[in-house]
Amino acid sequence: MKITVIGAGNVGATAAQRIADKELANEVVLIDVVEGMPQGKGLDMYESAPVEGSDTHVIGANSYDATANSDIVVITAGIARKPGMSRDDLQATNAGIVKSVTEQAAAHSPNAILIVVSNPLDVMTYVAWKVSKFPRHRVMGMAGVLDSARFRAFISMELNVSVEDITAFVLGGHGDSMVPLPRYSTVAGIPLPDLMDQATIDRLVKRTRDGGIEIVNFLKTGSAYYAPSSSAVQMVEAIVKDKKRILPSAVMLGGEYGMKDVVVGVPIKIGKKGMEEIIQIKLTADEQAALNKSATDVKASIAKLNI
């Protein structure tokens, strides 16, 4: 098993470290355009292997030749939104970056499964799918796993119970239009509405929607990377171990949930082939309307692309 992580920033480097520590691959390749940075971080990670007891070989490189024949490619490349930068500006810049790295990754690893982490997530997943020309089951975006993890963390804080007993579902786009589903969120099998009132649920849902910006506001000059990297690696592990995990992920829809030609977060089964099935759950009229709105927002953003 060979796994490439594109982008040696905080998210990419932390993801590479987690993959190595879990021994999910024989080789991890960390790629970045900055000369020396992926090589230095890769060497540093490999020197931690004797302590961690991992035989995963980590290397850093600037050339995509080192990525040849990767089984999985995790794309974290892109810039963070800067003060004064509009979402459209961010999208245009990152679309160009994701287009470039996807072209090179796909050329060197034509049979790989792509996991996209770059923002804006749903649109960048569309870019990777469009540019790679891979079938949709081999291109997935990491968003729902992260948003669900945040929802679970906030539920755990509220109820003072173990995160292990909490299951949560968040669908839709990654951002303001995400669709948390309290009805399908449980604590040891008990539906969330049976454990807290609607006002509390609404407060936790809002905090989940604002989960990324809450961290940005604390850090001032950076954004989240521990939880995003963990979430991406959970998807990697589901593929490597053929676990058949049901995880909310951003994928191209072909009629599911009444939607086509748009990337949006839905529950999928992840195994060695990538996305092995889209799970269609019953939604209330309000939930479906919220998901439709989320998809409409993503479609509007996709329409602005120039690829």
CATH number, domain with residue 80? 3.40.50.720
Domains held by the chain: number: 2
Res 123: pLDDT: 96
Active site (annotated) includes residue 57:
no
Q: Is residue 307 part of a domain?
A: no
| Residue 152 and residue 137 share a domain | no
| Residue 170 and residue 129 share a domain | no
What whole-number distance in Å separates Cα of residue 147 and Cα of residue 266? Answer: 12
| Residue 131 and residue 214 share a domain | no
Nearest Cα residue to 42 out of 74, 19, 22, 71? 19
Res 38: pLDDT: 98
| Residue 150 and residue 291 share a domain | yes
Cβ atoms of 44 and 84 within 8 Å: the answer is no
| Residue 227 and residue 134 share a domain | no
pLDDT, block means (10 residues), the chain with 307 residues: 98 98 98 98 98 97 98 95 72 96 98 96 97 98 94 98 95 84 95 96 93 88 93 98 97 96 96 98 94 94 91
Res 228: pLDDT: 96
Containing structural domain, residue 166: 144-302
HEC per residue, the chain: CEEEEECCCHHHHHHHHHHHHCCCCCEEEEECCCCCHHHHHHHHHHHHHHHHCCCCEEEEECCHHHHCCCCEEEECCCCCCCCCCCHHHHHHHHHHHHHHHHHHHHHHCCCCEEEECCCCHHHHHHHHHHHHCCCHHHEEECCHHHHHHHHHHHHHHHHCCCHHHEECCEEECCCCCCEECHHHCEECCEEHHHCCCHHHHHHHHHHHHCHHHHHHHHHCCCCCCHHHHHHHHHHHHHHHCCCCEEEEEEEEEECHHHCEEEEEEEEEEEECCEEEEECCCCCCHHHHHHHHHHHHHHHHHHCCCCC
| Residue 222 and residue 94 share a domain | no
Res 85: pLDDT: 65
| Residue 124 and residue 234 share a domain | no
Res 84: pLDDT: 67
Q: Pick the catalytic residue: 57, 108, 137, 174?
A: 174
Res 174: pLDDT: 81
Res 112: pLDDT: 98
Phi, psi (rounded to 5 degrees) for 41: -65, -40
In sequence order, the 6+-apart residues with CB closer than 8 A to the CB of 44 are: none
Question: Where does a domain end: 141, 160, 186?
Answer: 141
- pTM, full prediction: 0.96
| Residue 281 and residue 185 share a domain | yes
What whole-number distance in Å separates Cα of residue 164 and Cα of residue 176? Answer: 27
Q: Is residue 135 part of a domain?
A: yes
